[in-house]
Amino acid sequence: MANSLKKYREKRDFKKTGEPHGDAKKKSKKRFSIQKHDASNLHYDFRLEYEGVLKSWAIPKGPSTDPADKRLAIQTEDHPVDYIDFEGTIPEGEYGAGKVMVWDRGTYENITEKDGELRGIGESLDAGHLLINLNGEKLKGGYAFNRMEGEKWLMVKMDDAESDARRNPVSTEPESVKSGKKIKDIE
């Protein structure tokens, strides 16, 4: 775990930013969160709790509930588990400067199969193909993550009872699930 967070810590000055250093103990239940991050380019950070860290992707357009949408998801460095509900402002001049808000959070389940058997998350990530079932406050149901090349993945809603081509929660449900605030009101 410590090694996996090296890059994350090197990029930050913890005397200046309120972001967590990453010392909290991991919990057994697998959680996910999606943070709206108004940095130089507005994006949504998708984070999956796995083996004591948060596997992370930056999604420029945010997630969709429409299976026809393919959303670019750029894999970024692992983050510490206590980042999962971080909300606040990263100071000017610091890495990722700007406001961060918890747009969605909940639990997830790995549903990736290979040859009819459940395949582990680590193996699935290595293979560049991961299917998960989300139970968030906003997002629910299956999502597929498929690697195209390098750090570039596509996040696509799976066609199931929770898919909805008309919902568009990124624009119609902008509030934080933690504070109820919109991103402009985050301190």
Stretch that binds Mn ion, among 13-21, 43-51, 108-116, 177-185 (CB under 5 A): 43-51
Binding flag, residue 47, Mn ion (CB under 5 A): no
Least separation in angstroms between CB 40 and Mn ion: 10
Is the backbone of residue 148 left (phi > 0), alpha (psi -120 to 50) or beta? alpha
4 vs 110 by CB, closer to Mn ion: 4
41 vs 171 by CB, closer to Mn ion: 41
Tokens of 72: 């670019």
Binding flag, residue 140, Mn ion (CB under 5 A): no
The only residue of 31, 37, 71, 99 in contact with Mn ion, by rule CB under 5 A: 37
Using CB positions, name the residue nearest to Mn ion: 37
Long-range contacts of 12-18 (CB under 8 A, 24+ apart): 12/94, 12/95, 13/94, 16/91, 16/93, 16/94, 17/90, 17/91, 17/94, 17/95, 18/86, 18/88, 18/89, 18/90
Binding flag, residue 79, Mn ion (CB under 5 A): no
Going by C-alpha positions, the residue among 10, 56, 64 that lies closest to residue 151 is 56
62 vs 67 by CB, closer to Mn ion: 62
Binding flag, residue 78, Mn ion (CB under 5 A): no
Tokens of 119: 């395949």
Binding flag, residue 49, Mn ion (CB under 5 A): no
Residues of this chain that bind Mn ion (CB under 5 A): 37, 45
